[in-house]
């Protein structure tokens, strides 16, 4: 009797082990979800912390796209479920968030981050687990060099920095100003340092001169000593490749010290809070971006309208890139031979001609989006206006825009509605 009981218990345990554990999908093997069940996608971003608008806007775009995919029938009849983790704008938390999404939630793929330093911290974890990661907006060139499972759908800093330098050169010539630039960079940011390096090389190659270089660390509040040193160089432009959280105060303190040169920056300036923080001190300043919200093309205007109806505000570029990243991932899922890491990696890498809000998405051999259009925005009368466009399809020339600015506000505020398919914090 005792022997028979032991045999019965042993068989029961074995049966539970075989039947009770679903196969895995997110680690490059097989499916995390039961056949026909939801497909789990992870998202990590700065929902809170110093760069909170980065993560919030990206999340909104991702959720809007995911819901559209599901309404249209999902991925071969299966719905997408997005599990979101807040990395609090911290590199170490980015790594922790991705580890949780992969090891505990068994997600098929990861979308994120905005900040290049956070993407660089998390990418090796995705790579070692064979979980494809798509960053919507990390521009530092090193991000996709972390492995063949790491992709991006935005342009790179080597691309952005060169065209910033070309614009600076042309702006100085058109304004009859000396081709002189002073730089103020964030020593803790891979993004800031990468842009500064590319900008310097191109601008000096064009005959320009870097007359002074100063540095700060993200989160600093007093920039007066650096700006005082810069003032003595009398630059035509002040190049500040940082994040919006610092730019407003830098602009205010620069004006207080009598620096009248326009500021020039990158897509890290993009946030509804930029002008709110910097106000009039930012008038006449410029920054590069991924799309212009008032672009009249149907794909952009349609996206902007749907986003406004859903969230009550005009989408910034981070929202547009989050939307495009989710659509890119969904498109690859539909084309993948099966839903596992290696097959999905291959499908993402084969993305060609996918029309997105931020331009047509073609993934190149280095897993970067190739030939993306770049815009330069100018702050006029407290609003973002289109200053110039650089389109590789049109020869990559800087095309200045002389049209009157569109009377469109950048945000109307209000809390966003809850998205039907999101799960904050994971399961």
pLDDT in tens, 15-71: 333 333 333 333 443 344 445 699 999 999 999 999 999 999 999 999 999 999 999
Dihedral sign, CA of 388, 391, 392, 393? negative
CB < 8 Å & 24+ apart, contacts of 122-129:
122/44, 122/94, 122/95, 122/97, 122/98, 123/147, 123/150, 125/95, 125/98, 125/99, 126/98, 126/102, 126/150, 129/26, 129/27, 129/28, 129/102, 129/341
**The pLDDT of residue 349:** 98
**The pLDDT of residue 410:** 38
**Rounded average pLDDT over 233-240:** 98
The answer to whether 179 and 172 have CB atoms below 8 angstroms apart is yes
- Split at pLDDT 50, 70, 90, the class of 414 is very low
Q: Tally Cβ neighbours within 10 Å of residue 357.
A: 27
- Split at pLDDT 50, 70, 90, the class of 412 is very low
**Rounded average pLDDT over 356-374:** 96
- Split at pLDDT 50, 70, 90, the class of 395 is confident
Nearest to 70 by CA among 427, 368, 420: 420
Model confidence over 71-120: pLDDT tens digits?
999 999 999 999 999 999 999 999 999 999 999 999 999 999 999 999 99
Go through the domains of the chain in sequence order and give each one's CATH number: 39-155+297-372 (3.40.50.2300), 158-289 (3.40.50.2300)
**The pLDDT of residue 24:** 37
The model's pTM: 0.85
- Split at pLDDT 50, 70, 90, the class of 397 is confident
The answer to whether 184 and 217 have CB atoms below 8 angstroms apart is no
Q: Which residue has the tokens 């097959």?
A: 343
Measured CA to CA, the distance from residue 240 to residue 219 in angstroms comes to 15
Longest dimension (CA), the chain: 100
For 192, the token pair is 């800031």
Burial of 204 (0-12, 13-18, 19+ CB in 10 A): middle
Q: Tally Cβ neighbours within 10 Å of residue 47.
A: 21
Model confidence over 300-344: pLDDT tens digits?
999 999 999 999 999 999 999 999 999 999 999 999 999 999 999
Q: Please state, for a pLDDT cut of 70, what percent of the chain lies above it.
A: 85
């Amino acid at each position: 009797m005792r022997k028979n009981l032991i045999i019965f218990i042993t068989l029961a345990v074995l049966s539970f082990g075989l039947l009770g554990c679903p196969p895995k999908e997110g680690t490059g093997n097989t499916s995390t979800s039961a056949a026909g069940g939801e497909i789990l996608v992870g998202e990590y971003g700065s929902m809170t912390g110093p760069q909170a608008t980065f993560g919030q806007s990206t999340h909104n775009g991702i959720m809007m796209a995911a819901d559209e995919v599901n309404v249209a029938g999902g991925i071969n009849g299966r719905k997408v479920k997005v599990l979101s983790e807040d990395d609090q704008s911290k590199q170490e938390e980015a790594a922790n968030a991705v580890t949780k999404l992969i090891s505990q939630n068994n997600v098929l793929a990861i979308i994120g981050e905005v900040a290049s330093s956070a993407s660089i911290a998390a990418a090796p974890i995705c790579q070692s687990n064979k979980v494809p990661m798509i960053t919507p907006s990390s521009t530092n060139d090193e991000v996709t060099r972390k492995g063949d499972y790491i992709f991006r759908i935005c342009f790179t800093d080597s691309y952005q920095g060169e065209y910033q330098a070309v614009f600076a050169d042309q702006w100085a010539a058109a304004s009859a100003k000396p081709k002189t630039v002073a730089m103020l960079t964030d020593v803790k940011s891979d993004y800031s340092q990468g842009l500064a390096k590319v900008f310097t090389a191109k601008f000096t190659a064009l005959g320009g001169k870097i007359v002074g270089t100063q540095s700060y660390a993200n989160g600093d509040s007093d920039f007066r000593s650096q700006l005082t040193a810069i003032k003595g160089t009398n630059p035509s432009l002040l190049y500040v490749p940082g994040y919006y959280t610092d730019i407003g105060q830098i602009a205010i303190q620069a004006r207080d010290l009598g620096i009248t040169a326009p500021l020039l920056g990158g897509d890290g300036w993009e946030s509804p809070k930029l002008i709110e923080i910097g106000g009039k001190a930012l008038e006449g300043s410029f920054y590069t971006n991924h799309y212009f919200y008032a672009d009249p093309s149907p794909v952009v205007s349609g996206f902007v309208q749907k986003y406004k109806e859903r969230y009550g505000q005009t989408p910034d570029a981070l929202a547009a890139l989050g939307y495009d990243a989710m659509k890119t991932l969904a498109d690859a899922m539909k084309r993948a031979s099966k839903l596992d890491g290696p097959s999905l990696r291959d499908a993402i890498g084969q993305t060609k001609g996918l029309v997105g809000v931020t331009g047509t998405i073609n993934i190149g051999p280095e897993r970067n989006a190739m030939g993306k259009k770049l815009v330069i925005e100018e702050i006029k009368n407290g609003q973002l206006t289109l200053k110039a466009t650089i389109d590789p399809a049109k020869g990559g020339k800087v095309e200045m825009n002389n049209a009157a600015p569109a009377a469109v506000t950048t945000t109307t505020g209000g809390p966003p509605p809850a998205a039907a398919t999101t799960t904050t914090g994971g399961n």
